Structure 1
Amino acid sequence: MKIRPLSIDGAWEINPQQHGDPRGLFMEWYRHDQLAAAVGHPLRLAQANLSVSARSVVRGIHFADVPPGQAKYVTCVRGSVIDIVVDIRVGSPTFGQWEAIRLDDVDRRALYVGEGLGHGFCALTDDATLSYLCSTTYNPTAEHAVHPLDPELAIDWPTESPQLSARDAAAPSLAEARESGLLPDYQTCRAFTAGPDAGTGPAFSGE
């Protein structure tokens, strides 16, 4: 597999090598050693999630308190989505910027979203199914959201009629979240992921 860093520090795109023949195909979907070499620390596997979404459903932008945060290894096992990484870390040189990656069941690429980054996606097909490997378990008191349609972020969602959950529709803007002190701090995130306990901290938060 090939692992490519995105323009936002802490996020990587993973392109697996697929081996096919008339029977079907085989691929290595996840390699802990290669990911750890790229990221700088191993991904602690604490929880695995699966979400199924109808076309035009938008989920996010979600993030968790750091420490311990929640790193995610995301792939689309059915259908296709546009997956979004947003830098919401106060003090980051790319604060407020986002990057979009198409995840689907053809190329079968994956996305690694490091601790402190915001994450969301838009389903391009019905029954779009995402699989998440998560570094920490679900704790709603440590999880937050930024409104996915915030004009300041200006995310180019590929739908004219985004369907949001009640929670996401009521989420604060990026500016409001920053003013209220909800957003992670860039230097805190860097120190946490570079520390000796990176990827092995206590379990909190969730997608």
Structure 2
Amino acid sequence: MKITETVLKGCYIFEPHVIEDERGVFFESFKKNELENALGHTIDFVQDNQSISKKGVLRGLHFQKGKAAQAKLIRVIDGEVLDVVVDMRTDSPTYSEHFKINLSGWNKKILFIPKGMAHGFLALSDRVVLAYKCDNYYHPEAESGIVYNDKSLSIDWEFPDKDLILSDKDLKLPKFSEL
């Protein structure tokens, strides 16, 4: 498995070794020891989540606060997304910066997001099936986020605003400066 750290410290891209033949495709999407070797510490995932979205759906930018903060391991099973991560760690040299990557069922890239980062994605294909592991349980009272179009973050979602599909909740999220 190829492992690459992104411009955000502690945020990694995992590219599995893919075996393909006349029967189809096989790859290992998660190996605890390889993830922990890259991180330099142990991690225990306690919750698996899955979302199914149609083209134009933007989910995020979400995070959990305090003791409920979550590290996530994200992969697209089917379709393609533009995945965005924002560094919320005030002690980080990349505080308030973001990273973008296309994740898809065909490129099979897997993204590890450490605690202290906001995360969102935009469905680029007609149907997207996205799965992710979390190292902490979801706590609704600790949920927060940043509005997707906060000008201070300068995120180019590479998609016309008029065609985006967002929840009312995500449209009402605060700006980065309001957190």
**TM-score, normalised via structure 2 length:** 0.95
Q: CA deviation at 1:15?
A: 0.4
Q: CA deviation at 1:138?
A: 1.2
Aligned partner of 1:109 in structure 2 is 109
Aligned partner of 1:36 in structure 2 is 36
Aligned partner of 2:83 in structure 1 is 83
Aligned to 2:151, the other structure's residue is in SS state coil
Aligned partner of 1:167 in structure 2 is 169
Distance 1:162 1:89 in 2: 28
Distance 1:154 1:8, change over 3 A: same
Question: Do 2:68 and 2:142's aligned partners in 1 also have CA atoms closer than 8 Å?
Answer: no
Structure 1 unmatched ranges of 5 or more: 178-207
CA displacement, residues 37-86 of structure 1 (integer Å, 9 cap, x when unaligned): 00122221110000011111111111112334101000000000011111
Aligned to 2:153, the other structure's residue is in SS state coil
Q: Does 1:8 align with 2:30?
A: no
Question: Do 2:75 and 2:131's aligned partners in 1 also have CA atoms closer than 8 Å?
Answer: yes
Distance 2:164 2:9 in 1: 28
Question: Do 2:73 and 2:111's aligned partners in 1 also have CA atoms closer than 8 Å?
Answer: yes
2:168 partner letter: A
Distance 1:87 1:15 in 2: 22
1:89 partner letter: R
* 1:93-104 correspondence runs (5 A): 93-104=93-104
* 1:1-207 correspondence runs (5 A): 1-160=1-160, 161-177=163-179
2:33 partner letter: D
Q: CA deviation at 1:159?
A: 1.1
**TM-score, normalised via structure 1 length:** 0.83
Distance 1:66 1:37, change over 3 A: farther
Distance 1:66 1:7 in 2: 24
The structure whose residues are more often strand, as a share, is 2
Root-mean-square deviation over aligned CA pairs: 1.0
1:169 partner letter: L
1:175 partner letter: S
Distance 1:152 1:164 in 2: 20
Question: Do 2:68 and 2:139's aligned partners in 1 also have CA atoms closer than 8 Å?
Answer: no
2:133 partner letter: L
Q: CA deviation at 1:95?
A: 1.4
Question: Do 1:10 and 1:117's aligned partners in 2 also have CA atoms closer than 8 Å?
Answer: no
Distance 1:168 1:41 in 2: 33
The count of aligned residue pairs is 177
2:23 partner letter: R
Aligned to 1:17, the other structure's residue is in SS state coil
